[in-house]
Amino acid sequence: MTSTEPWPLDNLPLVGGPDFPIGIFWPPHPYATNPQRYQEIADAGMTFLITGNYMFDQHINRRALALAGQVGLKVLVGAPEPRLSAITHTLSVTDDSSVPLRISTVDTRRLVQQMLDEYRPFPAFAGFDVFDEPAPPKFPTVGAVTAAIRDLGPTLLPYSNLVPGNGSGYQAFVQSFLDTVRPPVLSFDRYPILSSGLDINYFDNWAIIRRLGLAAGIPTWVYIQSVKFSGRVIPNEAQLRWQINMSLAYGAKGILYFTWWTPEVARGEEFESAIIALDGQRTPLYDAARRVNLNWLRPIGRELKPLVSVSVTHANDTPLPPGTEAFQPDEYISRVEGGPVVLGQFRAEPDDGSRWVLVVNRSDRNDTTVRIVLGSSAKKAEEFRANPRRDFVVIPGPVSTQLSAGGAILLRIARN
């Protein structure tokens, strides 16, 4: 397999399969890496974790992998792993002998093979978190490690995550990452719940990621905010829903919580009150995340994961946020009346003529009502019901509903 061939996405952990990936960053530290804490993660509806929080050697990574396997979680081993950190963060992968602090392609493959031999016996091992937020000078190294993992462990996921941004410069940055690294997933982080209100440029960031992910033919993932830090507030349950549903509308195929455990003061940025407090106590975000994951994200994620994003538009949203597109009538929906909402439209692959439309409340603070009038070619509309089982219920005539703050409904519209 060469790095220029399309990724076999169906065969990769987390990316493939029916389950929607829901991950955590900053898991329990080594002294809290025990069966009870890992069961706590699984009970909250998470499906995987990225190692970190001072998990600095292969011994603690092996323990985490063993515990994760016991509770049904997957694990991406991250750069605290000393060999991975040396390759990606300290050295540069190159065969140019004039480059200082370099490691050759051959030696890179040897170290990757060592790590694979160490972790592959654990069923929970899903791959590596190759690099979090690489700068452009690191793209060739990230690409070389990604290619080595692809070649030596073709059924494992080499994952990297990008910084946020906006505008043409950011689009060029993301495109350069895609061209150089050729990753199986396009992921970014942006934390929009600010002390001053919502980050209005969040939508433009998502629009860029969505567009380039679709063009590359790979899924898009996003980190959501679940901690207070650096001018950002502790999100409430409605704001967790808002981040998740807005990301789903823009085509997200994976969600990660930043953070699970609260980082301590040595990390800087004045972190407070993540899902698990610094002393190990659950904060209110634990129950909020558990409800959102189990009652909504897991079931709707399974419905949306195999679908292809067709469009994302904003209706009744004035002024229109930067980088967004206004709703335009089509054969499926002729009018959207009521409060401001975001509509993510999806299709099956191959296209069977039906459309799925996720309608998301634009507000993270206030409830709203919306009335959706079907288009001329629409035969019927069905509303997705997450519980007690995943099914659709026919909605006669126009669809009228009240959306809670950050809430959403998913419609399936059949064409005549």
Over residues 319-354, the pLDDT tens digits come to 999 999 999 999 999 999 999 999 999 999 999 999
Band (pLDDT 50/70/90 cuts) for residue 388 is confident
Q: Which helix (H) or strand (E) holds 50?
A: strand 48-50
pLDDT of residue 383: 96
CB 218 within 8 A of CB 18: no
Band (pLDDT 50/70/90 cuts) for residue 173 is very high
| CATH H-level, domain 9-304: superfamily | Glycosidases (3.20.20.80)
Mean pLDDT (whole number) for 20-45? 98
Please report, in angstroms and rounded to a whole number, the separation of the first and last CA atoms in the chain.
43
- In terms of Cβ atoms closer than 10 Å to its own Cβ (0-12, 13-18, 19+), residue 77 is buried
CB 264 within 8 A of CB 31: no
Is the pLDDT assigned to residue 389 strictly greater than 90? no
Mean pLDDT (whole number) for 59-67? 98
Mean pLDDT (whole number) for 66-71? 98
Band (pLDDT 50/70/90 cuts) for residue 1 is very low
Per-residue DSSP letters for 233-295? PPP-HHHHHHHHHHHHHTTEEEEEEE-SBPP-GGG-TT-B--SB-TTSPBPHHHHHHHHHIII
Kindly report the pTM of this predicted structure: 0.97
Over residues 296-325, the pLDDT tens digits come to 999 999 999 999 999 999 999 999 999 999
Mean pLDDT (whole number) for 195-217? 98
Alpha-carbon span 242 to 404, nearest angstrom: 10
Please name the residues in contact with 153: beta carbons below 8 A apart, sequence gap of 6 or more: 112, 116, 120, 127
Over residues 223-280, the pLDDT tens digits come to 999 999 999 999 999 999 999 999 999 999 999 999 999 999 999 889 999 999 999 9
pLDDT of residue 128: 98
The amino acid at residue 91 is: L
Helices 167-181 and 202-216, interaxial angle, to 10°? 30
What are the residue ranges spanned by the domains of the chain?
9-304, 308-415
Q: What angle do CA 46, 300, 164 make, to 5 degrees?
A: 65
| DSSP symbol at 172 | H
Taking the alpha carbons of 201, 204, 205, 206 in that order, is the dihedral positive or negative? positive
pLDDT of residue 2: 53
Taking the alpha carbons of 157, 263, 19, 347 in that order, is the dihedral positive or negative? negative
The DSSP bridge partners found for residue 256 are 23, 223
φ, ψ of residue 357 to 5 degrees: the values are -130, 115
Total count of residues recorded for the chain: 416
The DSSP bridge partners found for residue 371 are 337, 400
Using CA atoms, how far residue 210 sits from 83, 197, 206, 217, 333, in Å, is: 33, 24, 6, 10, 22
pLDDT of residue 142: 98
Over residues 70-80, the pLDDT tens digits come to 999 999 999 99
Using CA atoms, how far residue 365 sits from 175, 239, 242, 378, 406, in Å, is: 35, 8, 9, 32, 7
Mean pLDDT (whole number) for 133-157? 98
| Radius of gyration (C-alpha) of the chain in whole angstroms | 21
Per-residue DSSP letters for 126-168? EEEEEEES--GGGHHHHHHHHHHHHHH-TTSEEEEEB----HH
In the structure encoding, which two tokens stand for residue 194, read together?
A: 């600010």
Question: What's the mean pLDDT when you consider all of the chain?
Answer: 96
| CATH H-level, domain 308-415: superfamily | Golgi alpha-mannosidase II (2.60.40.1180)
**% of the chain beyond a pLDDT of 90:** 96
Q: What angle do CA 109, 115, 119 make, to 5 degrees?
A: 145
CB 345 within 8 A of CB 355: yes
Band (pLDDT 50/70/90 cuts) for residue 110 is very high
φ, ψ of residue 252 to 5 degrees: the values are -60, 135
Alpha-carbon span 210 to 36, nearest angstrom: 37
pLDDT of residue 177: 98
**% of the chain beyond a pLDDT of 70:** 99
Taking the alpha carbons of 260, 262, 267, 271 in that order, is the dihedral positive or negative? positive
φ, ψ of residue 311 to 5 degrees: the values are -160, 160
Task: Tally Cβ neighbours within 10 Å of residue 324.
Answer: 16
Mean pLDDT (whole number) for 31-49? 98
Query: Which segments of 128-283 does DSSP mark as H helices, in order?
Result: 139-152, 167-181, 202-216, 237-249
